Amino acid sequence: MGKRLRDFLAFLYDFVVGDDWRIAVSVVAGLALTYAVSKTSVPAWWLLPVLLVVMLPVSLWLAARRR
């Protein structure tokens, strides 16, 4: 049972984090920020698209710089 659990956790980590841990952290932070803003009177629908527009070029730039 321990090996199955370890294999599942390794799969889950690889699925969520993937190649770039910064994207995973930014998605979690974006969701938390969207939740926090949704509790105010400000519309929160625009936060995740802005996060995408910012993080995609950053991720591509970092990947290109590494190679």
Residue 24 maps to a domain = yes
Is 4 within a domain?
A: no
Task: Quote the domain boundaries for residue 61.
Answer: 19-66
Whole-prediction pTM? 0.74
- Identify the pLDDT of residue 21: 86
Q: Which residue type sits at 41?
A: S
- The answer to whether residue 14 is domain-embedded is no
- Count structural domains, the chain: 1
3 within some domain:
no
Tens of pLDDT, residues 32-61: 999 999 999 999 999 999 999 999 999 899
Does the structure show a pLDDT above 80 at 67? no
Res 1 pLDDT > 90: no
Which DSSP category does 33 fall into? H
Is 29 among the domain residues?
yes
Residue 50 lies in a domain: yes
Is residue 11, in this structure, part of any structural domain at all?
Answer: no
- CB-CB contact of 22 with 59 (8 Å): yes
